[in-house]
Amino acid sequence: MFIQEHNCETGEITQRELNAKEIKQRQADEKAEAARQAEAEIKAAKKQAILDRIGLTADELKTILG
């Protein structure tokens, strides 16, 4: 994995491998992203389960709340 580095002072553009800190950060970002998406999916599933239970669609609920 590499990142493109652009030195704004010299204009030099290089490609370098991620350093240890960046790899660690990327792993943390990936993990956080996966958790965020999983949480969003769980939230959406919970919402849908409630809608199913009360027999309304999301649009119908919006109309009631709107």
Partner 1 sequence: MPTTTNYGWTTPADTDLVKDGASAIRTLGTAIDTTTKNLNPETTLGDIAYRSSTSNVKTRLALGTAGQLLQVNSGATAPEWATIQTGGMTSLASGSIASSATGFDLTSISTSYNDLILYMRNFSISTTANLLIHLNNDTTSNYWFINDEFASGTASTVAGNGETKVRLTNTISASRDGLSAYFIIYDYKNTTAFKSYEYYAIADYNKFAFGKGHFNDSSTLAITRITATASTGTFDSGTYELFGVK
List of residues contacting partner 1 (CB under 8 A): 1-11, 13, 15, 18, 21-22, 25-26, 28-30, 32-33, 37
Question: How far apart are CB 34 and partner 1 at their closest, in Å?
Answer: 8
Buried b (16+ CB within 10 A) or exposed e, 19-35: eeeeeeeeeeeeeeeee
Question: How far apart are CB 63 and partner 1 at their closest, in Å?
Answer: 14
Which lies closer to partner 1 via its Cβ, residue 1 or residue 54? 1
Rounded Cα–Cα distance for residues 58 and 48 (Å): 8
